[in-house]
Structure 1
């Protein structure tokens, strides 16, 4: 039996596990193929609200009993909502894996949606929204997403607007579950000290009664690219610039990872060295890539003084443009090493492994071995990266600015600079 095993139940539920010899703990969870981008406009924020409500009681356990069931055995339970996925997971000792699965499946399949608990959690989420609005280097990414993908679910926030969250009720929550929490939209994943056959047997008992469903086909994301500029008296001017990149399934997916890492993935990256170390224009600057099955986004972020925002923006686009001709073998090798090391380091924990096997199965329908991933990264050439960079910066970007940004150049000015 290989270390990674996959079983699909007759109703479409997929089960994936990875044995990690030497571990005495396991992470087990349910990944639901539903997130912020699956919401209609009037539902914006419901997926995240639902994630919160899962911990507020089921038909068998109240909120305290859910927490106690895991923490009484020294475990840890949590969840998250992204644009593509909602995940519920627990980490427990080997002997408590069955308990972990029982609790996770209980909160996913049997949420009570008690009205009093809905009101309590509504207050918590409204506080979370308020905290985000008070965090410039957090909220600016929501505004960037909005101008990159306007008038569609991909461009809306995961938390949702306060006015929507203030009116969600039990019917809204149960309706989203009925629409998106089918067996075919779920992956049960576990890694660490796990017994695949035992987990499959337990899963058959818990999930086997669910009717067969297929995975939903989403509407494709539509990139637009525009500018939003919000003036406020802050200590720093916050700058973000984004380009549409490839999705997970695109042939230049690995090139996108390497190029982004070389440009802004660490202290040795080009943007960090040129703009922070050589020019002293900021404390923080980085580039990152986000991927979905049908689209992606390469984003640069920096915070700087009001009087430096124009120079920082111009230098940023200059370095992006220069990379088409000057990206060096050393920069490429360093970026590949960072990506390969980061992948391997992340897999040293059962939580990292569980996340990887669940997301891999959701994206590609299989779980590639780390050696395959490394080989694909190694196969990307300097010409591949320069061609990728040239095609990327030829696309229309999106930009979000926040703070004392009166001196920042317009998006059209930066587009002209890239094209010059």
Structure 2
């Protein structure tokens, strides 16, 4: 058993060696032993290739502004591990992590001797979250983000009030499938019988898979551009402005501070989800709560400006769809300025599909690496690129320091790629910015 936070965290992280083990049997076994805490939770379940974290953030802020206590379960973390299990945006205490780890540890040990084997790191964390929120009486609703896919994701044992699918793209194809319909099938696995679904999926072949699944389960579906519509969108100095029309209301000139057209879609998706909670579950959320919640929502690592002179931005574009959104945002906001990019990615990504779009907007392109399983070396990334103004440095601290010193005040430096990479480098950049 654990007496310190460091011991508990060390044990949890040691489970990374088990990798990814899709399936729900281990979770169901642990929840049975814990007397089904997940069944006590009012939940929203969010899946999708990109935009899950931002969508969770928008939902949380609107619900908070309406006076609700909101739990969230997200991944990965950016500053502290505890933020994966949070209440009203505040990570749970170190003491809670120790307590929860001590509750789950004996179950993990017992599971090792069963036919299903040891639980993974993500299963351990998910079980901790279910136990915590299932026994937390002052939390009104919890927004759960899937870790990977949906159908076989550890979170998929909950029966939520509402399911949300952000979008479908090519990521984790070794586990989720090679085609959009195959990937959509895995994401659609979170749809439950009679539970409404809100979606911003746009590809016809993916929508068909989702609709077929929803129809078979008598789940009412609200789709972007069919049931709710975005209008009058435009970038503004500190974010985005847009209007939205839902089946029951129209909201004019909404403002978000997270930048990029993709963030407008995430915000609209969240607002439609709020509308469903109002109509079908009697949540009291006024227009003032919606406007204020959207406006104050911040999500670390999503086109986040860490320094103004020079402008240094980090963005968790960790797959081709994320890169395309980043490139679109750069073209919209900074097409008149020189943009220098530092990029790091994991081996299991479609690297050429990520690097080639970056080359279209970069003045220079630097590749680096960090200490993490499955990470690409800087040289491997460098070799994929055919860009003329490129370099590489295996030491990310050296790479970032050098580029920060060379960028002028009228230029832009963007650090992008793996979310795990950004969570490691963000504190370093914040400190370095203090010395500029």
Q: Same fold (TM over 0.5)?
A: no
Q: Normalization by structure 2: what TM-score?
A: 0.26
Q: Which has the higher helix share?
A: 1
Q: Normalization by structure 1: what TM-score?
A: 0.27
Larger radius of gyration: 1
Which structure carries more relative contact order (alpha carbon 8 Å, separation 6+)? 1
